[in-house]
Structure 1
Amino acid sequence: MMLEPSRLAALPRLAIALLLATVVAGCTTLGAAGPSSGQVRKIDGEGYANGQVALIDLDPQAWRRVAAFEQSQSLAQRLGESGAGDLLIGPGDVLDIALWEAPPAVLFGTGAVIPGLDAGAQNRAVVQQVVDGAGAITVPFAGRIEVGGRTPAEIERIIVARLTGRANDPQASVRLAQNDSRNVTVLGEVAQSRRVPLGPRGERLLDIIASAGGTRAPVHQTTVQVSRDGTSAVMPLDAIIADPAQNIRMKPEDVVTVLHQPYSFIALGAVARSAEIPFEGRGISLAQAMARMGGLRDNQANIRGLFVFRLEDPGALDTETRGTIPTTDDGRVPVVYRLDLSDARGFFVAQDFMIRDQDVVYVSTAPGAEIREFLATVTSLAFSAIAIGNVVTSNNNNGN
């Protein structure tokens, strides 16, 4: 059956109307990059994992609090800088003890002659002693001596004092032959896990790692944990290398654990590149993070709605917030930092605020972006419908 010309002319308009009705009916299902800026702000005070979400404007005051807390967690701040110190003897150490007396030798006359001296000038005896668990040794003719916590020079003076009156002008020399009481344990992602002995010069953290053969993982993906006297501190290896103050001196019984830990943050929302993005252990700023995710999408991003989602340590929050807000089961606070880039000063804050491992950087969609996208879709469909209608009308006219 042939359509009447009037009906053929109305076909494009009918197709457009049907398409518009279909799109309008389904406009509520148009996709979005994520929650709007207003929806994110509404989660302030909401519960999460038995904690409570805190929404904090990222201004210079908030950045200073976070930066001060991060500095307080460094190796130098948490563990302190110990001096080189004296070489103190402890249980398990092996001592070489040389004893001399002037001729005529009374106690050590059968000992060997010191090379370089006349045969009868002076005699000596050499004994080797292992310091027992109580920190003591036994020296011939001098008896039991408490040497634990003493330097070799102090032990020499004690031995000479004990031998005075029994030996002819006695002298003593004490040398640490084997260090078993002053060690640092290094393990994890190193070439060889071992106990590294400490000498009198005061070895530093990087010396210990080098003594274990260095790290097996790349430096920018390596984290170092130092445990001392019940306290532990963790820092990226390249941050330790970059800041000499973090290359702290080691103390006996320190434990150094080297871990392979790649760092990354997650970029979501109205950004050019939504992805998990790796970064160096020494850290990157929020401004650098924005650059690595390709910047904001000009036609969609809400410059007032850049958010950083983080499980924060309470120590990084202001006193009022820290004292009133509940923490999660692991003692942290779910925090959303909001940065308003409509104020150009926000870019200075972005340069200073440091991204942490597993942060989520989210940029909300501008309020009018969904409408613009909807109108663009409708316009495209409308022009397609008109083109189809024109083709149909032209074909029917040609058929007539």
Structure 2
Amino acid sequence: MIEIGRVKRTMNLIPARLLAIFTLSLLLSGCVGWLPSSGPSVSEVKDAAGSQRLSGIQLVDLNDSVARRLLAQRKQELFSEKIGVGKPVNWLIGVGDVVEVSVWEAPPGTLFSPSMSDLKSAPASSRVTPFPEQMVDSDGLITIPFAGKIMVAGRSPQQVEADIVERLKGLANQPQVLVRVLRNNYATVTVVGEVANSSRIPLTPRGERLLDALASAGGVRQPVNKMTVQVTRGDLVQSMPLETVIRDPRQNITLQPGDVLTALYQPSSFTILGATGKNEEVNFEAQGISLAQALARGGGLQDSRANAQGVFVFRLESADALDWPAKPVRTTPDGKVPVIYRADLNDPASFFIAQSFPVHNKDVLYVANAPSVELQKFLNIIMTLAYPVINVIPLTR
């Protein structure tokens, strides 16, 4: 009879325990929203894109057509297409160049001879008279005795020689002239930025190319794959990754006088968050990377946490990038559209799309937790709070 009584009392306590657990469950059911989490769930992202508070944010499912269109827009304009490969320029004298002029006279030439005594003592041969070096003035002129002011800017040395000979006819005996450019201060390119020595590089008739100028400046100071080269020619400004110039000889264009080369160290980066191997900002090459590469550099998806259907890319996109699904389209003050791209990695075809989808600078990659993870966290909290309540009710009296 005693044993039967104990069983009855125990059976009477079971509803009390269940009631305690049920009460705790109800108390916590309203707290699911503030369970510890690394970010929104898949459903929360969908709801945010459609909410009135965040209206206009575009939620776009990644597919082949979206990836192709974005990749086509990212196509770089090549130096060879935008600027042109170019050819070595004809060697012309310019303002600021330092030139030397020498004149020969056939005997008995006397125009430039020092004195008659020198003529008597010297053998009968042509005589050379070198004039002091001169810098071409702002008007493009130099001065030659008996010939006067000579326009040299924009002309080749051979043209200047012929002009001086013509002016000396009748004054000198069968004059011959040689014009040399001692210092080229006009036909130069300027190299600045992340190079060992910023400098002005003189051009020669050989035709210096882009990489020649960088080498003359001592090379770049940062890793090649993180460098961008900008060429400024007049009002035209064009830039390309240095790695592309090295790999494609057509982009190693011939430089023109007045070109400015700027070596830019502008490391691009994306931020990866959520259920991945690591949460951090990751730098990538100026050449660019794909979504698949970005996920790999973030340590991939965690098997125990990640929802493969919830891979998101948060980006401020150009207004004309796509045909936006939500109207009206929300834009930032600088005309960008906030977009959330979603990839479903449960679909094997999405891995091919991820290989062609380009990651942009300042993108945020986020991988949501699987629903089972949220449930597990919720049950862990319930059991943590319910266990002491259950144990305070003894099985026996």
Query: What is the TM-score when the length of structure 2 is the normalising length?
Result: 0.79
The one-letter amino acid paired with 1:290 is: L
Residue 102 of structure 2 corresponds to which residue in structure 1?
98
Q: 1:344 aligns to what?
A: 348
Unaligned runs of 5+ in 2: 1-5, 116-121
Post-superposition offset of 1:263: 2.2
Q: Which residue of 2 aligns with 1:307?
A: 312
Q: Distance in 1 between matches of 2:123 and 2:335?
A: 74
Secondary structure of the 2:158 match is helix
Measure, in 2, the Cα distance between the counterparts of 1:53 and 1:18. 40
Any idea what the Cα deviations from partners look like across 1:37-78, whole Å, max 9, x if unmatched?
52365389x77xxxx755555444444444444334444444
- Going from structure 1 to structure 2, the CA distance change for 1:66 and 1:165 (only over 3 Å counts) comes to farther
Residue 108 of structure 1: CA displacement? 3.4
Q: Measure, in 2, the Cα distance between the counterparts of 1:385 and 1:338.
A: 37
Question: Which has the larger displacement, 184-193 or 279-288?
Answer: 184-193
2:359 pairs, out of 345, 355, 361, with 355
> Which of 171, 179, 193 is the aligned partner of 1:174?
179
2:232 aligned with 1:224, yes or no?
A: no
Do the aligned partners of residues 186 and 388 (structure 1) sit closer, same or farther apart at CA in structure 2, a change above 3 Å counting?
A: same
Task: Work out the CA distance in 2 between the residues paired with 1:43 and 1:231.
Answer: 44
Among 201, 204, 228, the alignment partner of 2:206 is 201
Identify the residue that residue 164 of structure 2 maps to in structure 1: 159
Partner SS for 2:74: helix
SS at match of 2:201: strand
Task: Describe the SS at the equivalent of 2:232.
Answer: strand
Q: 1:95 offset after TM fit, Å?
A: 0.8
The superposition leaves residues 330-374 of structure 1 with CA deviations (integer Å, 9 ceiling, x where unpaired) of 354444444444543332232233322212223345xxx33x234
RMSD: 3.8
Whole-Å separation in 2 of the counterparts to 1:174 and 1:191: 35
Specify which of 155, 163, 166 is matched with residue 150 of structure 1.
155
Q: Out of 22-31 and 288-297, give the one that drifted further.
A: 22-31
Q: Give the one of 18, 26, 29 matched to 1:21.
A: 26
What corresponds to 1:84 in structure 2? 88
Distance 1:5 1:30, change over 3 A: same
Return the letter of the residue paired with 1:281: A
Matched, 1:214 2:214: no
The residue aligned with 1:39 is 47
SS at match of 1:103: coil
Report SS of the residue matched to 1:200: coil
* Structure-1-length-normalised TM-score: 0.78
Do the aligned residues in 2 keep the contact of 1:308 with 1:336 (CA within 8 Å)? Answer: yes
Task: Give the letter aligned to residue 172 of structure 2.
Answer: A
2:143 aligned with 1:138, yes or no?
yes
Secondary structure of the structure 1 residue equivalent to 2:28: helix
Deviations, residues 96-129 of structure 1 (Å, cap 9, x unaligned):
1222232232433449xxxxxx953321111222
Conserved? CA contact 1:239–1:282, under 8 Å: yes
Rate the CA distance shift 1:76–1:61 in 2: closer, same or farther, 3 A: farther
Residue 90 of structure 1: how far off its partner (Å): 0.9
CA distance in 2 between partners of 1:146 and 1:320 (Å):
63
Task: Report how far residue 265 of structure 1 moved.
Answer: 0.5
Q: What stretches of structure 1 of length at least 5 have no aligned partner? A: 112-117
SS at match of 1:148: coil
Structure 1's 13 and 332: CA in aligned 2 closer, same or farther, altered over 3 A? closer
Q: 1:360 to 1:19 in 2, by over 3 A?
A: same
Could you tell me whether the CA contact under 8 Å between 2:32 and 2:378 is conserved in 1? no
**Equivalent pairs, count:** 378
Aligned partner of 1:209: which letter? L
- Distance apart, 1:251 and its partner CA: 2.1
Tell me if structure 1 keeps the 8 A contact 2:197–2:217: yes
Check conservation: 2:35, 2:378, Cα contact below 8 A: no
Q: In structure 2, what residue type is equivalent to 1:107?
A: L
Q: Which residue of 2 aligns with 1:373?
A: 373
What CA deviation, in whole Å up to 9, does each residue of 1:295-329 have, x standing for no partner? 234455454543333334467x36999xx978644
1:159–1:343 Cα change, 3 Å: farther
User: Any idea what SS the aligned residue of 1:138 has?
Assistant: strand
Residue 98 of structure 1 aligns to a residue in which SS? strand
Contact 2:84 2:253 in 1 (8 A): yes
- SS of 1:71 mapped into structure 2: coil
Instruction: Give yes or no for contact 1:20–1:378 (8 Å, CA) kept in 2.
Output: no
Quote the offset at 1:93 in angstroms.
Answer: 0.5
